[in-house]
Structure 1
Amino acid sequence: MKSVLFSIFFTTLSASTLVATPLAAQDNNVDNRVNRLEKEMRAVQRKVFPGGSSQYFEPDIKPDAAAPITPNNTTSAVSDLIARVDTLERSLASLTDQVEQNGFRLRKIEDKLAAATPAVSTTPVTPPSTTTGSSTSNAAPAPAAKPAPERVSGVAAIVMPNSGDAGEDAYIYGYRLWEAGYYPEAQVQLKKASANYPKHRRASFSKNLLGRAYLDDEKPALASVALYENYQELPRGERAPDSLYYLSTALVQLNKKTDACRVLGELQDVYPDEAAGRLNGQVARGKAAANCK
């Protein structure tokens, strides 16, 4: 496309140069070249705007072969030639502008499509292991193991309290499950308690005990998330200082002792009375475990 436009532009410049020469002997030559130039422009128009209107050029008009060429009509010929060249230049500029606008719109559409298309994961998928002698290649996943009957009966033996305070009862039931060592069941119940009663006084207790249940279940990463969220979401809650201490414990288990020391330092700065009083012994043990200076 660029080469065609450049050729047309070069031809236009050549036609403009011929105007400065004596036109008496070159009228036919110039007129023929301008006619050819107009036809090339029409071809460009049809290529860029297929099926479009003829708003840029007049329809083809065959010259009257019987009309004689008058050499003395130099002034009108020059004016007509200049007008036609100006029209060609304006049309060329308009076509170029349309091409640039269409290209810009196309790029915008492509960008939107690219943004709407979900990224394809490049992580290799490990095929499931197959059992020797089995002819099934797409075996269904194994069902989750059912809890042992004694565990089911043990959990069922934990009584849900009914004091009339639903928020209190939800926390106490989670506490009883945790105290009995049923950590996964306690985690489910404590999440439910804090979600269902976020404004209750026991919400801070539920979130803190959820972190401890993860710690006791040997899941320090999940514990650190739960404990930090309790401190961030309920900084005035009764168990927010405790969550900072247990957060330092989780960080030590994750081998992030420097961060554990920072957390203990924040506990002392934000809750100085708790750190020096009820939690004094725990803070001392936490610093020793994290090798805090």
Structure 2
Amino acid sequence: MRPGRLRLLAAAAAIALVAAPLCVTPSFAQTPMDNDPLDARDAKRLDRMEKVVRELRDIVFAAQKTGAPVVVQPADTDSRLTDLATRLGDLEQTLTKLNGSLETTTHELDQSRRDNAALRAQVKSLGDRLAADEQKVAEAAQAAQTAAATPAAPAEPEAPADPKAAAAAAASAFTKARQLMLNGDYDGAQAAFAAYVTTYPDTPRTPEARYWWGKTLAVNGDYARAAAAFIGAIRGWPQTVWAPDAVVELGRALVELKKPTDACEALVEVNRKYPKAPAAVKSRAAAVRLKAKCG
């Protein structure tokens, strides 16, 4: 006998055994009993058994028609529960990894915040120190500018009885002041030329001393006093090599003092009074005109 037939017979026998207890006469099932032996749990179990019997019967009948061996597959519910359990396990693993990554990211973020706070504190400290240093530099510069703008009046030498001795003293003072400027000591030169103008107001070189004095004042940004010095230098339009440049410097000082109209009027005199001025001086005059927006 073929194995498929044997399996069919075995399945049929199992169905008969399971179904046998169910084959009771209706009269017996309908007999009233004071104490029903089947409680609710047994009733559910019986329903499940009847369902299994029906499924087995359908399988047997289908096998009889096709001749195929009887294979009882697990219930679809169990398969789904197994699949859900697997997926749940995968989700738990993924969640665990995400939690680990989140903890790492949170730790790194906290560390970055601490680093940023420390950096901001360092920047603030450096900014405070820089502000303090700038304040000290500004105060020192202001003190130096004040001292340079108001040089201590040197003791006026007694006028020598001999005119030649007086002229020699004036020439020596001018030479010393000019040398200070050539050496780059503009503060010292400024004080020396101021002393010369005060001590020797009427010498032939006093206008030139005013010109150089104005140059040192302009270098230190004192454009108001520089303009006054240049005006005193070019009074009478002297025909000297430094006079054209003195006019240009006067115009530049007036531009810095926000007086472009006055600057343009002064610069007109460069070509009129000094037509033979050096090309470099004329070029600088043109640059100042452009800055003053002369017409």
TM-score (norm 1): 0.39
**Structure with bigger gyration radius:** 2
Q: Which has the higher helix share?
A: 2
TM-score (norm 2): 0.39
